[in-house]
Amino acid sequence: MAKKRRVRSTPSTAPRAAPTPAREAAPSIPTTSLPPRRPASSLANYDYTYVRRDLRRIGILAAILFGVQVALVFILPQFLR
């Protein structure tokens, strides 16, 4: 089975905003921390080139094996007489 490759997203080239000055923190209501969400664009950024290679290899092998079967249909009756 082919090894999967991870695609790293390139960092944005947009300039970052200047950091905001620290403010006095108001008492906040405790909230539960949720896991960080990934942007939707990173979910569809997978590399499936190995799938195309595997499907091509399967197709070539199937064609070769089918050709061998067709050849045997014509060759074997001559040897079995």
* Residue 19 pLDDT: 63
Model pLDDT, residue 45 = 76
- Euclidean distance between CA atoms 65 and 76, whole angstroms: 16
| Nearby residues of 54 by Cβ (< 8 Å), 6 or more positions away | 1, 2
pLDDT of residue 11: 58
In the predicted structure, residue 58 carries a pLDDT above the cut 80: yes
Q: Please indicate, yes or no, whether the overall pTM of this predicted structure exceeds 0.85.
A: no
Q: How many residues does the chain have?
A: 81
In this predicted structure, the answer to whether residue 12 has a pLDDT above a threshold of 70 is no
pLDDT band at residue 60 under the 50/70/90 scheme: very high
User: What DSSP character marks residue 48?
Assistant: -
